[in-house]
């Protein structure tokens, strides 16, 4: 059991090393590096510590899927900004137990759906195993050209950057003639997966399924081609978009099933419905108009239009700190 799991871990570490090594730097890359190097997040260092912790917790912590009460106590305390639950249990001590409970719940629902692990089953361990940590993921710097919407470069930055720090990095990058955005991430498909500890329970359930299916798809042609894109071996923006769309649909639907199965007895069940203001439809319309303006070479007009629409979205209750080409390059993959 341990040998198979360690083999999977070593493979992941190898991919991290390859990604970190890169494929040579251009002058543009070097100039970006000089701006962000002080705030860059080391994924390799995080992976080493996270994997060691995951192995230890797999041995020392065992929780069943029916302990929804512990999960609710944890998230109630988080939402109230407290460091302990109502009975005085430390949030930090409870967190690894909550992780194991949610992992078991999501795993059970996936199994009930008849989805088989593509990596097989060895001595009770499914591959890829469903594992995540509730923590603050790194922020992400996204760079796009100004005259078209596509990801030119991404860089992981330290979590919890202030808005002032984000804007400083963005303005320095944009002096290079590109569009830049520093954005918070809700999760990241590492192993174990990163899932933000600041989210609501329903969002964490969605993200847990979302990040697992990224790993699941890596054993399939679609996901494997996404890995090749991430490594820069075979860049393909359409493959990224298809992956993120499939994963987003899967995560939302499985998350809803988990919530309704394990938490509807405590809270109101989730039911899908059409919102009063359709944010997705509005964003699709904005994106189409921006694409048309950029195709006509009207870069300044497109940027002015996006700022006007950002303000309009805010009046409908949707605050977006910065709406630009880099925003759509990143969020556009979630078609």
Residue 200 resides in a domain = yes
Note whether residue 309 is domain-resident. Answer: no
For residues 124 and 121, what is the distance between their CA atoms, to the nearest angstrom? 6
Q: How far is CA 33 from CA 36, 91, 153, 326, in A?
A: 5, 37, 11, 18
Question: What are the pLDDT digits (tens) for 79-127?
Answer: 898 999 988 999 999 999 999 999 999 999 999 999 877 656 655 566 7
Environment class of 18 (CB within 10 Å of its CB; exposed 0-12, middle 13-18, buried 19+): middle
Q: What is the mean pLDDT of the chain?
A: 86
d(Cα 143, Cα 176) in Å, to the nearest integer? 11
Q: Which position has the higher pLDDT, 122 or 74?
A: 74
253 lies in a domain?
yes
Backbone torsions φ then ψ of 193, nearest 5 degrees: -70, 150
User: What are the pLDDT digits (tens) for 212-262?
Assistant: 999 899 889 998 998 888 777 888 878 888 998 999 999 999 999 999 999
Does 151 map to a domain? no
Positive or negative torsion for Cα 225, 228, 234, 237: positive
* Domain count within the chain: 1
**Where would I find the H helices in the chain?**
2-21, 27-36, 43-60, 68-79, 91-112, 163-174, 201-217, 221-230, 237-262, 279-295, 299-315, 325-331
Residue 123 lies in a domain: yes
Highest mean pLDDT among 4-8, 105-109, 262-266, 272-276: 105-109
* Residue 112 located in a structural domain: yes
| Domain assignment of residue 174, yes or no | no
Helix (H) / strand (E) element for 267: namely none
The H-or-E segment that residue 155 falls in is: strand 153-157
Q: For residue 79, what are the domain limits?
A: 2-137+185-263
DSSP letter assigned to residue 48: H
The residue ranking higher by pLDDT, 273 or 185, is: 185
């Amino acid at each position: 059991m341990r040998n198979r799991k360690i083999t999977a871990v070593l493979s992941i570490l190898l991919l991290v090393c390859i990604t970190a090594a890169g494929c040579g730097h251009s002058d543009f890359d070097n100039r970006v590096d000089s701006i962000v190097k002080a705030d860059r997040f080391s994924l390799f260092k995080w992976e080493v510590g996270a994997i060691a912790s995951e192995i230890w917790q797999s041995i020392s912590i065992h929780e069943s899927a029916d302990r929804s009460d512990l999960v609710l106590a944890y998230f109630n305390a988080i939402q109230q900004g407290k460091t302990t639950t109502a009975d005085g249990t430390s949030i930090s001590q409870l967190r690894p137990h909550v992780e194991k409970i949610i992992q078991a719940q999501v795993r059970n629902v996936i199994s009930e759906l008849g989805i088989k692990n593509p990596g097989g089953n060895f001595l009770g361990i499914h591959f890829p195993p469903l594992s995540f940590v509730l923590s603050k993921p790194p922020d992400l710097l996204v760079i796009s050209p100004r005259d078209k919407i596509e990801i030119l470069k991404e860089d992981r930055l330290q979590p919890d950057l202030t808005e002032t720090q984000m804007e400083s990095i963005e303005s320095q990058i944009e002096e290079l003639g590109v569009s830049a955005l520093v954005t918070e991430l809700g999760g990241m498909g590492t192993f174990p997966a990163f899932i933000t500890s600041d989210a609501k329970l329903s969002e964490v359930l969605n993200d847990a399924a979302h990040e697992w299916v990224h790993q699941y798809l890596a054993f399939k042609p679609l996901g494997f081609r996404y890995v090749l894109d991430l490594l820069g071996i075979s860049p393909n923006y359409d493959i990224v978009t298809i992956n993120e769309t499939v994963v987003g649909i899967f995560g939302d639907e499985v998350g809803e099933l988990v919530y309704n199965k394990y938490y509807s007895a405590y809270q109101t069940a989730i039911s899908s419905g059409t919102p009063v203001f359709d944010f997705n439809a509005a964003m699709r319309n904005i994106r189409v108009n921006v694409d048309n303006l950029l195709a006509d070479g009207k870069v300044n007009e497109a940027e002015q239009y996006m700022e006007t629409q950002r303000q309009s979205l805010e009046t409908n209750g949707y605050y977006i700190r910065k709406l630009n080409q880099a925003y759509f390059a990143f969020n556009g993959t979630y078609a």
